[in-house]
Amino acid sequence: MMRALLLLAFLSAVPLGGAAAQDVAPVPTRVIYPGETITSGAIQEAKLKRGSRLTSDMAASAEELIGKVSRRTLLPGRTIPLSALREVYLVESGKPVEVRFVAGGLIIATTAVPLQDGSAGDMIKVRNMDSGTVFMGVVLADGSIQVSAS
């Protein structure tokens, strides 16, 4: 009886054949430089070395990477930390964008120049082209900036 329990405990502790989901990770197929957008052709699934683990701060699937921009150099065959990625900038510093102020039924739209790059949801500084006033706004998914009353 004791042997059977011991054998059962041993078998449940030892992983059986087949690769678990954590045994593979997306890795670059070539060097990916900072500022480069990651494409499906630049990523492949690779088996992790024995004893290696995929931690929560690492990309676990190619879907997490494709379309993102590298913040630093990513080397072939190495796992990719999520901190090494950012969203694509929808607004670039110095390129005029539409700015909207919305309050109830009132909508005021103008053109302004972003003083910072920004992705959707980022709060950035913007300069009104007519008055030169600098204010803060939130980058929207369509590439415009929304300003609210303070």
pLDDT averaged per 10 residues, the chain (length 150)? 55 48 85 96 90 83 94 95 95 96 91 96 95 95 90
Please tell me the predicted confidence (pLDDT) of residue 74. Answer: 97
**74: DSSP letter:** B
At residue 86's C-alpha, the angle toward residues 82 and 88, to 5°, is 150
pTM: 0.67
The CATH architecture assigned to 97-147 reads Roll (2.30)
Q: What are the structural domain ranges in the chain?
A: 21-86, 97-147
- Assess contact for 116 and 125: CB atoms under 8 A: yes
CATH class assigned to 21-86: alpha beta
**38: DSSP letter:** P
Please tell me the predicted confidence (pLDDT) of residue 150. Answer: 63
Please tell me the predicted confidence (pLDDT) of residue 48. Answer: 85
Please tell me the predicted confidence (pLDDT) of residue 41. Answer: 94
CA distance 122 to 90: 10
H/E run at residue 14: none
CA distance 100 to 108: 6
Number of Cβ atoms within 10 Å of the Cβ of 142: 9
Please tell me the predicted confidence (pLDDT) of residue 37. Answer: 96
Please tell me the predicted confidence (pLDDT) of residue 149. Answer: 79
